[in-house]
Structure 1
């Protein structure tokens, strides 16, 4: 079992809550009903965390009362994250359920462009991130992991190609949609909250395209044409490895705000990364790569500083 952070045992019980034995460290996962959220809940609960899912959507197997069928979560709390009062209350105490939160993993968002009007997507994502950060500050919750996005660095990479490959955390941030702009605002907010709360740790994980194992069969459809997946440099991350990165970020002893690209070690293509880059980005400088199919979304910083190492790939 992985080491989990120290907990505040003095927080006691919620109104009407029955004692449940030894107090586990308690983490809220917002958006825990989504693709990455479900994998994160399963992984964290297996590593000794008590996980609470904040979401307006129930996982398919959830019971009516939100107490079972949640893939490892202790319970589901249905909440509108754009409502600050609801966020504060749910992080502080829920009657007969829990009192006090040790950490937050903020995954909830309208997850990709084109799902709604751009203004609704931007306003929803930004307001929920602000409310989580501000409520955490007020309640002195100092261990936060935030879902950022690979899209910050100009994805889709059309018509403007990247300045250099592979892409790193130092590549210019160039949002191209309301969605990616909302993720940029989230990272800027995290910068300022880290300044306001110097003992806090805020880690933004720039996830590549999250994939389930069941989706790997579909990768075959892309192999005949590099243009079918060039828009994010052929990157992806297995949901299980995304969950691993989140756990490592929760364990990190850092303070301040830090951002990491989270991608698999390889691309989603069988052609070498150099061939792909030459075919689609012929005028973009390409730095030496550690292997023929190495990712063009450089994950070395997460490996170096968090101990991240992807374990699941499609090939």
Structure 2
């Protein structure tokens, strides 16, 4: 049985990730400051301050009678999840410190498989002066962070590039998640009466269950080195055709390929090709 440590496993995406790994037979250890409200019975919870390197390293190398055999993979989701929740410097300090602790502790513990939550905000989102250079958006252009939150994600990706340069056998995958949603959010959908409210990320989202699938498949992939993948649902939060939204709100952004139906403007084609990402859920399922 493969042991996976999930940091931030008590959050919205984290709970889905923990359930996904547990359902697929993994030995899951949940690290967070607070317990999960719906943790599977067999999952160990360890209260951990990820800004304390000693605690992180200790959790990775063994916990008394909990486990004394190696951790096989780390999924790092813990973070202050959005701009504006705490002052800017406090946000980037917390998030980057937690990530550097996780990355270094994994290295010290000999863990070669690290997947973590990067963000769609590296893609020129929220829409503004530094909007994406073309649509649909992919991973082929340089990141353009616009907040302390997204700057922290850019720092994490740059750190991962160098960790994998130092050790070519290491795998570090940053998943650039779109806005994470679950079934409790979907009664508010669609957003056709307020399209302006969702232009900030081009009307995109990701169902937490599909996000969890992407995490598992990233962990299971045989890739090495650093990779970044956009993880978004294939549809938008709208019933309005996507091309109509583009022509109304962002007509000046060049179009790299055809935009059909209600397709997302955040392309997950790279994730489909390289890790087998195969989204199954949509807010439309219950309507």
State the TM-score bracket (shorter-chain normalisation): over 0.9
Cα pair 1:27 1:102 within 8 Å, conserved: yes
Match of 1:266 in 2: 235
CA contact (8 A) 2:203 2:236 kept: yes
Corresponding residue number in structure 1 for 2:146: 176
Give the conservation status (yes or no) of the 8 Å contact 2:32–2:78: yes
Give the match for residue 262 of structure 2. 293
How far apart are 1:73 and its partner, in Å?
Answer: 5.2
CA contact (8 A) 2:136 2:259 kept: no
**Which of 239, 243, 246 is residue 212 of structure 2 equivalent to?**
243
Query: How far is the alpha carbon of 1:149 from its aligned partner?
Result: 0.2
Q: Which runs of 5+ in 1 are unaligned?
A: 1-23, 62-69
Shift of 1:72: 5.2
What is the TM-score normalised by the length of structure 2?
0.96
1:27 aligns with 2:15: no
Alignment-derived partner of residue 279 in structure 1: 248
Contact 1:163 1:284 in 2 (8 A): yes
Q: Is the 8 A contact 2:130 2:144 kept in 1?
A: no
Residue 71 of structure 2 is matched in structure 1 by 101
Q: Which of 300, 303, 314 in structure 1 is aligned with 2:272?
A: 303
**CA offsets 1:206-243 (integer angstroms, 9 cap, x no match):** 000000112111123x2123211000011100000000
- Report SS of the residue matched to 2:189: helix
* Alpha-carbon distance change, 73 to 285 in structure 1, aligned in 2, over 3 angstroms: farther
Report runs of 4+ in structure 1 exceeding 4 Å deviation: none
**Larger of the two Rg values belongs to structure:** 1
Alpha-carbon distance in 1 for matches of 2:248, 2:33: 43
**Structure 1 residue 161, shift from structure 2 partner:** 3.0
Q: State the secondary structure of the residue aligned to 2:118.
A: strand
Residues 71 and 111 in structure 2, CA contact (< 8 A), matched pair in contact too: yes
* Cα displacement (A) at 1:290: 6.1
